[in-house]
């Protein structure tokens, strides 16, 4: 039955065209943004998950910077500790020489004094951004260690906690007091051999501890970098559009749009056919 006031075919064609246009608009938006889920209305659950993960990625970027700063600070102290160890070995050589009877103890004493000043100078200079892990007061405010933010840990919906790596001061300022070294006589030099050996062991232990901390921070930095990449990949899997599939869908929707437009045009012409019934 044909009607003039109500054109059911046109209404169906119009609804189809609207649906095709909506899908076409969404597909074009996906192509322009590269995202299948770019707004909460697209998929509220997935959008919420992606935003939480994006906030964690931002947090891990800050963690990476903290680890890089910590690694540099420890590396400077470690280099200083290794250099001091080498100087202490040279001092030991001078002490052993001073145990002889026919040596110039005054000159050896002066030489060791210069080396001792060099050790103290290295201790003072082994700082990075105001933090010195070879001194008793690490930051000038009474701290005895360096705290490096190493991670942000999320546990379910209970929130985020921070994890740290603590690097203790080697405190060469206190532990390496070379004022006990005396080579004024052969006997004094002989007594100083055990003392310098103890100082060398202290320096070796401190350098080893700093090296271990530097390795841990470096490894954590590599892990955080890989973790950040994995999280970015996970976010992409959730919200990014499959561009090949989207491109194919766009072409199909463009054809559907043309066909729907033609169908609507044909449906709108149907009432005109009724006029032929009234022609004589």
Distance CA 89, CA 111 (A): 13
Identify which of 228, 242, 258 has the alpha carbon closest to the alpha carbon of residue 24.
258
- Model confidence over 85-112: pLDDT tens digits? 999 999 999 999 999 888 999 999 999 9
The two three-digit tokens of residue 56, written as one number: 């964690």
Instruction: Give the pLDDT mean for 257-278.
Output: 76
pLDDT given at position 144:
92
Structure token digits, residue 206:
């401190």
> Given a cut of 60, is residue 26 above it in pLDDT?
yes
Number of Cβ within 10 Å of residue 263's Cβ equals 17
- pTM of the prediction? 0.77
Taking the alpha carbons at both ends of the chain, their separation in whole angstroms is: 22
What is the residue whose two structure tokens read 């998929």? 43
Of 24-33, 120-129, 173-182, which range is least confident?
24-33
Q: Is 239 exposed, middle or buried (0-12, 13-18, 19+ CB in 10 A)?
A: buried
Confidence at residue 6, expressed as pLDDT on a 0 to 100 scale: 64
Domains of the chain by residue range: 37-244
The pLDDT mean for the chain works out to 88
Which of 88, 91, 140 has the alpha carbon at shortest distance from 111?
91
In 3-state terms, what secondary structure has residue 23?
Answer: helix
CB proximity list for 213: less than 8 A, separation 6 or greater: 74, 165, 167
| Confidence band for 256, pLDDT divided at 50, 70 and 90 | confident
Tokens, residue 217: 């921070």
Can you read off the two tokens belonging to residue 79? 């280099």
Alpha-carbon dihedral 210, 213, 218, 222, rounded to 10 degrees: 170
To the question of domain 37-244 being in CATH 3.30.465.10, the answer is: no
Bridge partners (DSSP) listed for residue 168: 145
pLDDT at 5 over 70: no
Tens digit of each residue's pLDDT (9 = 90 or more) over 183-239:
999 999 999 999 999 999 999 999 999 999 999 999 999 999 999 999 999 999 888
Please choose, from the candidates 28, 24, 47, the residue with its C-alpha nearest in 3D space to the C-alpha of residue 239: 47
């Amino acid at each position: 039955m044909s009607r003039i006031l109500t054109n059911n075919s046109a209404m169906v064609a119009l609804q189809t065209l609207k649906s095709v246009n909506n899908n076409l608009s969404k597909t074009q938006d996906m192509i322009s943004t590269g995202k299948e889920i770019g707004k909460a209305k697209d998929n509220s659950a997935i959008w919420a998950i992606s935003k939480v993960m994006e906030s964690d990625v931002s947090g891990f970027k800050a963690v990476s910077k903290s680890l890089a700063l910590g690694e540099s600070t420890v590396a400077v102290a470690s280099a200083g500790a290794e250099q001091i160890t080498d100087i202490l070995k040279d001092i030991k050589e001078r002490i052993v020489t001073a145990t002889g009877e026919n040596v110039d103890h005054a000159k050896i004493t002066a030489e060791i004094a210069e080396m001792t000043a060099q050790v103290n100078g290295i201790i003072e200079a082994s700082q990075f951004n105001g933090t010195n892990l070879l001194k008793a007061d690490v930051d000038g405010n009474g701290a005895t260690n360096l705290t490096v933010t190493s991670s942000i840990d999320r546990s379910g919906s209970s929130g985020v906690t921070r994890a740290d790596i603590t690097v203790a001061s080697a405190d060469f300022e206190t532990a390496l007091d070379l004022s006990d070294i005396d080579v004024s006589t052969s006997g004094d030099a002989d007594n100083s051999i055990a003392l310098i050996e103890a100082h060398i062991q202290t320096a070796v232990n401190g350098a080893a501890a700093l090296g271990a901390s530097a390795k841990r921070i470096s490894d954590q930095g590599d892990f955080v970098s890989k973790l950040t990449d994995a999280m970015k990949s996970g976010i992409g899997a959730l919200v990014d559009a499959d561009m090949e599939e989207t491109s194919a869908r766009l072409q199909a929707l463009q054809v559907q749009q043309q066909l729907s437009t033609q169908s609507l045009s044909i449906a709108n012409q149907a009432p005109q056919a009724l006029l032929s019934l009234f022609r004589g």
